[in-house]
A and B are shown apart, each in its own frame.
Chain A
Amino acid sequence: MQKQISFGQSLTLGLLGLLGFIGLWHGLALSGLISSVFLPSPLEVYDRFSTLTERRFAGATLPGHLAASFERFAYGFILAALIGIPLGLLMGWYQILDEIVSPLFDALRFVAPIAWVPFAALWFGTGIGGPIMIIFAGAFPPCVINAYRGAKFVDPRLIEAANMLGTPSHRVIREILLPSSVPSIISGLRVSAGLGWQSLVGAELIVASAGVGYMMVQGQANVSTTTVMAGMVAIGLVGLTLDSALRLAERMIQNRRGLEH
């Protein structure tokens, strides 16, 4: 029968798994079975990581590249939220808007954000506009969809109660519809941030002149596997931090309302 395991056991197993993984990696790298060009050891990657924080590569240090990446991400993400959330809310509240916009949305849904890269390159060259556009393409749908769901699936009884209490419509929107959509919106922001960050990486691999993705491509072109891996680690760390921060926000909001998911 399925056994529950104690926290201690789970911790031990986790550490074993982790150490096993790193050990295997290290072992393979050092054994010489695979040349260190292909598989640098964890230490070499760490080494490269710290070097890059001081020394420039492909135009900037690692923190420099990260800053450039994050800047684009921020613009694209905020733009997506500022346009997407109100749009989603309005679509949820006003059926006619939903019927007009949804078909367009559904048609564009199947175009992966990355497919906008050629047009982005065509219109913006390697300027900052390109990546921002791609990030927007990735971050926009979840913002809209989640705001839409939050607005549409308000418990109808709440609205009935508000009407019974004689609440004027602007107040219904501000004090009932909006607050009840917030959990869904925050959830959407989390997904949106994740997709936006991913789209950024993709965009930078192709049409950038700065940023972590660009650094990785240069690393690949120079056959510097350690650079590529260091880049991957950096991207992963930033993505994780972003996600954790938003997850925390999500949980704080859920706790305040006594919602358990």
Chain B
Amino acid sequence: MPRRISIGFATIFVVCIIWYAFTTGLGIIPSGRFPSPAETWSALTHVSGRGYGGGDLAMHVYNSLRLVVMGFLFAVVTGVPLGLLMGWSRRAEAFINPIFLIIRPIPPLAWIPLAILWLGLGDAAKIMVIWFSAFVPSVINTYAGVRNIDRPVLEAAYMLGMPKLRFITEVLVPGASPMIFTGLRLSLQASWTTLVAAELVGAFYGLGRVLNVAQQDLYPGMILVGMIAVAILGWGTTRVLGMAEAWALRWNTAALAAKG
């Protein structure tokens, strides 16, 4: 809707004006609290150029992105098959469920101190925590996806009779795929949150580290730059996932109807 988009731009424009006015123009917000547009810009050039917190922006972005992608993929590659198994086999579900019920209520971020104790401040601990937090949504949603497959469709598949592998790849996975992707979205979201948190607690590089050092240095402009960078990367990776989803789910009426 064009009106919606133009109002959207208008709002953001107004917000920027207010931002400028409150900080630079009218000085209502002292510069120690929230950075002005100018301060933010200078922080951006600072971190892109001279570098900050141990490296330049590109390096921090690369490292954070690298860890998120690795943790996310690791979680998906382990979580989706487990979800498929639990969704498909009542036995497997009964066996694994209690363990799951214990692990689930523990907030992913709560694994950070343990991860640091076990693996230190390096990459391994980060990936472990990301794995823990991204793993759960993948399993749960894949499981729900399998359970949600229409009974008649499953029966039609049995009637046609096929080898197990074909059943999994051509019936189970495609059938569960809408919900699998929902799980992937949640996993990605969880991955970013956990990574930033883990890097805030302790890291050698990455956007979380930038945020951490900026906070200790009382450098609001840099904090804002860090936050914006995280938001943009989060948005970007979600877009990529969305494109994969759109391609994989071309056949899905419900999704098409919702978007239209």
Contact = CB atoms under 8 A, between A and B. Distances in A.
Direct A/B contact, Cβ within 8 angstroms: yes
B88 A2 contact: yes
Interface residues of A, number: 61
Contacts, number: 175
A173 interface: no
Central interface residue in B96, B116, B215, B220, by most chain A CB within 10 Å = B215
Contact of B235 (A15, A17, A110): A110
Q: Which 7 A-B pairs have the closest CB atoms?
A: A103-B8, A118-B215, A220-B113, A13-B94, A10-B94, A236-B105, A110-B234
Interface of B: 3-4, 7-9, 11-12, 15, 32-34, 88-91, 93-99, 102, 105-114, 116-118, 154, 158, 189, 192-193, 196-197, 200-201, 211-212, 214-215, 218, 220, 223, 226-227, 230-232, 234-235, 238
17 contacts: A5-B90, A5-B91, A5-B94, A14-B95, A14-B98, A18-B99, A21-B99, A99-B3, A118-B212, A123-B33, A198-B108, A202-B193, A213-B109, A220-B113, A231-B113, A236-B102, A236-B110
Contacts of B201: 205-206, 217
Given A17-B98, A21-B99, A114 B3 contact: no
A107 B105 contact: no
B117 A38 contact: yes
B193 A112 contact: yes
Nearest to A4: B90
A197 interface: yes
Contacts of A232: 106, 110-111, 114
A3 B94 CA distance: 13
Contacts of B158: 1
B223 A228 contact: no
A17 B201 CA distance: 34
The DSSP consensus for interface residues of chain B is helix
A78 to B, nearest CB: 20
A122 interface: yes
Contacts of A33: none
Contacts of A161: none
A44 interface: no
A13 B95 contact: yes
Given A123-B33, A232-B110, A118 B98 contact: no
Contact of B107 (A10, A108, A198): A198
Interface string A118-151: 1101110000000000000000000000000000
Nearest to A104: B11
A215 to B, nearest CB: 10
Contacts of B99: 17-18, 21
A10 B227 CA distance: 47
Contacts of A1: 158
